[in-house]
Amino acid sequence: MRKTSLAEMPCPVARTLDVIGEWWTLIIVREAFLGARRFDDFKGIGIADNILSARLKRLVGEGIFERHPYQAHPERFEYQLTQKGRELLPVIGALRSWGQKWTTGRTLNRMTHEACGHEVSVHLYCQECRRPIGGQEVRAERARESLTAAG
Amino acid sequence: MRKTSLAEMPCPVARTLDVIGEWWTLIIVREAFLGARRFDDFKGIGIADNILSARLKRLVGEGIFERHPYQAHPERFEYQLTQKGRELLPVIGALRSWGQKWTTGRTLNRMTHEACGHEVSVHLYCQECRRPIGGQEVRAERARESLTAAG
């Protein structure tokens, strides 16, 4: 019920949360970025088999993972991020940057720029001005009602 | 139970999801960026009063909102994003960018660069190279066990 209403909201944030807005889902995607491919790889995050199985099925259904067989008897599959799934990296990166600053605890994995080896961060960015911008430079606003009606 | 384990994971993505990883929570934060301050402002998202009340209380407890009285009889409060809360904007922005590309539906609000009026996007960024980088330029890796043991 709640999920359906999010999926139908006229807001891309809401619709994205409908697809990935559940704790384990993004942890599973994070594991894939860290190299997990097989069911047993993902189990390392401490998720129950039935929940992991349901989440992977949903993520395949949403086109975030593709399932490829790697063994015939018994049949076994690998899960690979699609382009749609790989483009979740900025979401993971934004969560990571916030968590590094605002939560306490260790950080056991790294996200680095392959070319230079330095940590990657995630920034609000203006394509027009070609520079990262701060939150205080951003205006968030609802479209006017007239625009709304026009679709 | 599940939330406790996320809060204690040695990963800032997991810890952040423990704080904000629930559908309505990020929608509430989005509304605050769009100007919502009072309980009734937030009700517009179509959330049940008791759930909204519980989420706001949690977000105040986590230091994402601050509560300020604006009326004495009866007592009423406004909710304002703290610095910690405002720094969730890149998370909202990353969800938004992904949703604009990968979900279908309308977009009724805008996130623009105040100085130039153009849409703001969210990018992976290398501070060292001072440029936005693509996902394929990022290496995500688990720290080696020896580093892990050293903390």
Q: Which domains does chain A have, with CATH numbers?
A: 2-108 (1.10.10.10)
User: Which chain A residue's Cα is nearest to B95?
Assistant: A13
Where is B15: in which H helix or E strand?
A: helix B12-20
Are A6 and A18 in contact, with CB atoms under 8 Å apart? yes
Burial of B69 (0-12, 13-18, 19+ CB in 10 A): exposed
pLDDT tens digits for range A102-116: 998 888 889 999 999
Structure tokens at B110: 């805008």
Q: For position A15, what pLDDT does the model report?
A: 87
> How far apart are alpha carbons A81 and A43 in whole angstroms?
17
pLDDT tens digits for range B11-54: 888 888 888 877 788 899 999 999 999 999 999 888 889 999 99
B23 with A23: Cβ contact below 8 A: no
Q: Report CA-CA distances (Å) from B125 to A26, A119, A134, B122.
A: 21, 9, 13, 9
B23 with A18: Cβ contact below 8 A: yes
| Chain A closest-CA separation from residue B76 CA (Å) | 25
Nearest to B126 among A5, A16, A116 (CB): A116
From A18-22, A38-42, A121-125, B2-6, the region with the lowest mean pLDDT? B2-6
Task: Select from A93, A95, A68 the least CA-distant residue to A82.
Answer: A68
Whether residue A118 has pLDDT greater than 80: yes
Question: In sequence order, what are the residues at sequence separation of 6 or more whose Cβ sits closer than 8 angstroms to the Cβ of residue B78?
Answer: B37, B38, B67, B68, B69, B70
Q: How many residues does chain B have?
A: 151
> How far apart are alpha carbons A23 and B21 in whole angstroms?
6
> How far apart are alpha carbons B15 and B93 in whole angstroms?
19
> How far apart are alpha carbons A31 and A80 in whole angstroms?
11
ipTM over the 0.85 cut-off:
yes
pLDDT tens digits for range A25-67: 889 999 999 999 999 999 988 888 999 999 999 999 999 999 9
> How far apart are alpha carbons B96 and A2 in whole angstroms?
19
Contacts of A121 in chain B (CB under 8 A): 124-127
| Chain A closest-CA separation from residue B73 CA (Å) | 31
A87 with B102: Cβ contact below 8 A: yes
Q: String of b and e for B4-37 (b: at least 16 CB within 10 Å)?
A: eebeebebbbbbbbbbbbbbbbbbbbbbbbbebb
Whether residue B1 has pLDDT greater than 60: no
User: Which chain A residue's Cα is nearest to B126?
Assistant: A120
Nearest to B137 among A91, A115, A133 (CB): A115
B100 with A12: Cβ contact below 8 A: yes
Are B77 and B67 in contact, with CB atoms under 8 Å apart? yes
Q: What is the mean pLDDT of residues B102-123?
A: 92
Say whether A142 sits in a helix, a strand or coil: strand
pTM value? 0.89
Contacts of A143 in chain B (CB under 8 A): 107-110
A98 with B14: Cβ contact below 8 A: no
Structure tokens at A91: 């979401």
N- to C-terminal Cα distance for chain B?
25
User: Which chain A residue's Cα is nearest to B27?
Assistant: A14
